[in-house]
Structure 1
Amino acid sequence: MAYTTRTFWSQAEALEFMMERQKNNNSDEILYLFSFESQPEGKRRYQVADIDVFIHEYYQLPVNQRHTYEIIVDKKPAKLYFDLEYDIVANPNIDGPRLTTNFIQFVLNFMRKRSDDLDYSIKDVLVLDSTSPKKFSRHLIFQTKDPFLDNIAVGKFVNLILEDIHGCLINHQCPGVINSSLSRTQQTQSYADSTVFSKNLLNSLEPHLSRFEHCDCIDDYSQLKFKDMLEFMVNKSDGTGIIWFCDMGVYTKNRAFRLLRSSKFDKQECFTIAPENQW
């Protein structure tokens, strides 16, 4: 059996070839689309390939030439994934690996709450590390049995997770929490743009985060301290406010997701298995 592999200078041409090949092919061949940074200005090549062919070729490359990304193709099934990051200088008191583990714990409990079929553990999560001296960085890929419809659907699911974090915080009352009026995001709000929705959640929380300064309570269902959940919102690098620990800009069509053992062009930090990974 001849395995498919073909390289293009245009993503559109690569996608067209991939779709036509799969449309006209009666075999069980599954093709993937990858991109390669080859110049400092970000110019890329694209490869459509059978996964076995790609892996063989990829690991023949010297480490300093691996600048490779998988393209999460529009309208194709996608796993649940996260891009977690924060500026280290702007967040000097955050323990990144601990925060990552807490975030995974919250997501896993959220999934269990929604369905008995989503009962997974931290051992089902691949955790990749690309931390530099300036930026803490983790990628999470949940190894669930069934994928999402596409990565746009993944983004909508992540919005629900952030909405749940928001709900946990605004609904909590205890003697240690300073009373204040928190706005509640309307349930009917559109999910069409994941970044807009998540930003609205953040804007409604930001003025009230200090109310938890003297709260040591633990959330019943996530088993996390409310103070720990506050760290899911981190300081911006320029000090002008806060952003979510998880980047909501990564759920767009034909998104490039850097691979294990690959680095950005002219950068040294490649993705490796994170110390807290248990998968």
Structure 2
Amino acid sequence: MSEINFHKFYDTKIVVKMEKQNADSKQKVSETGAKKHEEMPFNILGPREFLMNFDKQVDALDTASKESNDYDMLCTFVYQVDNGYRKFVVVHPEIYWRYYEHLPPERRCSYEVIPENHPCRLYLDLEYSIELNLGHNGPSMTNTLIDIFCMYLLKHWHVICNRYNVVNLDSSTSEKFSRHIIFNIQDVAFKDNYHAGRLVKSVCADILNYVTSKEKQHDILSCFEKTQLEQLFVETKKGKRLFIDTAVYSKNRHFRIYKSTKWGKQSNLEISDDSKYIPSSVYNDKELSIFLDSLISYFITKKNLILLEYFENCTINTNCFKDTVQRYNYQESDSPCSKYPMLDKYISNLISPGKIRTCKHFETAKILVYETVGYRYCENIGRCHKSNNVFWIVNLKNKIIYQKCHDQDCFGFKSKSKQLPEEIYFQIDEEGDVLLNSAMARDIV
């Protein structure tokens, strides 16, 4: 572990200029009689002048975690040197930008490390071969996806988001359409990139099921023309699929940063021509603002973050970063049965000889989640899993039921929806209950 040698890594003239600026900045701080930098909020003295270079990622991430605080967060970046060899640097992103922005475009080969179990923004990696998809309109497809995810955020967590909150970066070439999409919503983040990935995979599964099925109604997707949704599927060498890369939500993911290109290529990420994003007004430097706003795991302050959670069984939750539970309109009740006895009996018969372990009721979403025990038949594989149980979801609004699975290989799978029996319709239809009570009252009179 040693300090990074920027004289070797970057152009010497640039480093000398940056060091002079840093010295001038420190002199001004000294003249004001300021005490230790670490004791003052970043917005008074600026970011801490901390730079450490590492050969091993684990050491870099450990140092970044130990050296960060609520007001002065350090990030781990990856930069590529000779032959594409990757090295790691722990630094405040503002400090990194001072050096990085002066590099020639072909030498900007840098990535942000998205730490495991760390708050992160929702992000998407979109790409497809232009040669195989000549009739596709990439910018239009991207905007459709942005609108879809904004609606899911509103539905699940009541988070308001639109294209003006979305950093839309483009690195397309004549061969490949490529976009990085970052949802920058003030004081809102996902608990980590696993939770963000589950949402993305679930939305992908919803789009696939809606486009390939005969279902005409969906809370969100019905707002779009089916031709719009069909356009989101592209041809690849392995067949047709959505143009979202769902493999980028892995442990300590390396994600290319603003202005960066892949090693040996000239396809730097730039703000797209159709981007509606409005950069933060905290900084006078627009380019710095875009760079900081586009980072997945950097937050000016974390203590007030609202963390969105999306669990494997498709249940959702909202927490504060400081572990104070904030259940935004989602009053979840958890018991072995629901308030609909006929529905509970129907589910019990459906999974017999298995049992209902618990029933979770999400009042606002009008959703019931039945967790089972002793019932492992999965419609995705057409047989029972060896160890994982399945669960059933009831949409009280649409009166439908479908099966999902806890097995990782079946993540995102949703069985074909089934209509509940008519006798159950009436029991769970609140308006029907009111009409019934009124009719009974008239008969009695």
- Give the 3-state SS of the residue equivalent to 1:83 in structure 2: strand
1:55 is aligned, of 90, 94, 97, to 97
Q: For residues 184-199 of structure 1, what are the structure 2 equivalents within 5 Å?
A: none
> 2:106, 2:265 within 8 Å by CA — same for their partners in 1?
no
Deviations 1:240-278 (A, max 9, x none): 411221101100011111111111111111001111100
What is the CA-CA distance between 1:101 and the residue it aligns to?
1.0
1:120 is aligned, of 138, 154, 161, to 161
When the two structures are superposed, what TM-score results if normalisation uses the length of structure 1?
A: 0.76
2:202 alignment partner AA: L
- Counterpart of 1:187 in structure 2 is none
- Counterpart of 2:55 in structure 1 is 9
1:162 is aligned, of 204, 218, 228, to 204
- Counterpart of 1:258 in structure 2 is 256
Q: For residues 1-279 of structure 1, what are the structure 2 equivalents within 5 Å?
A: 1=37, 2-22=48-68, 28-40=71-83, 42-116=84-158, 118-145=159-186, 146-170=188-212, 172-173=214-215, 221-222=220-221, 223-236=223-236, 238=237, 240-279=238-277
Deviations 1:114-173 (A, max 9, x none): 232x12111111100000111100010001231111111110111221132134335545
**Structure 2 unaligned blocks of 5 or more:** 1-36, 38-47, 278-445
2:76 alignment partner AA: L
Larger CA Rg, structure 1 vs 2: 2
Measure the CA separation in 2 of the matches of 1:31 and 1:275.
31
- Give the 3-state SS of the residue equivalent to 1:248 in structure 2: coil
What is the CA-CA distance between 1:21 and the residue it aligns to?
2.7
Measure the CA separation in 1 of the matches of 2:110 and 2:244.
22
> 1:37, 1:264 within 8 Å by CA — same for their partners in 2?
no
Closer/same/farther in 2, CA of residues 136 and 3 from structure 1, 3 Å limit: same
Higher RCO (C-alpha 8 Å, min separation 6): 1
- Give the 3-state SS of the residue equivalent to 2:142 in structure 1: helix
* Identical columns (%): 29
Measure the CA separation in 2 of the matches of 1:173 and 1:157.
21
Closer/same/farther in 2, CA of residues 77 and 115 from structure 1, 3 Å limit: closer
- Give the 3-state SS of the residue equivalent to 2:190 in structure 1: coil
- Give the 3-state SS of the residue equivalent to 1:46 in structure 2: strand
Measure the CA separation in 1 of the matches of 2:249 and 2:205.
17
> 1:37, 1:45 within 8 Å by CA — same for their partners in 2?
yes
> 1:126, 1:141 within 8 Å by CA — same for their partners in 2?
yes
- Give the 3-state SS of the residue equivalent to 2:79 in structure 1: strand
- Give the 3-state SS of the residue equivalent to 1:45 in structure 2: strand
Measure the CA separation in 1 of the matches of 2:100 and 2:254.
16
- Give the 3-state SS of the residue equivalent to 2:119 in structure 1: coil
Closer/same/farther in 2, CA of residues 169 and 44 from structure 1, 3 Å limit: same
Measure the CA separation in 2 of the matches of 1:4 and 1:270.
27
When the two structures are superposed, what TM-score results if normalisation uses the length of structure 2?
A: 0.49
- Greater shift in the superposed pair: 163-172 or 27-36: 163-172
Measure the CA separation in 2 of the matches of 1:11 and 1:220.
43
Measure the CA separation in 2 of the matches of 1:133 and 1:110.
32
Deviations 1:166-195 (A, max 9, x none): 343355457xxxxxxxxxxxxxxxxxxxxx
- Greater shift in the superposed pair: 83-92 or 163-172: 163-172
What is the CA-CA distance between 1:47 and the residue it aligns to?
0.7
- Give the 3-state SS of the residue equivalent to 2:82 in structure 1: coil
Measure the CA separation in 2 of the matches of 1:75 and 1:138.
25
**Cα RMSD (Å) of the superposition?**
2.0
Equivalent pairs, count? 229
Deviations 1:50-104 (A, max 9, x none): 1221121211322221111111111111000000000111111101111111111
- Greater shift in the superposed pair: 59-68 or 73-82: 59-68
Measure the CA separation in 2 of the matches of 1:259 and 1:48.
15
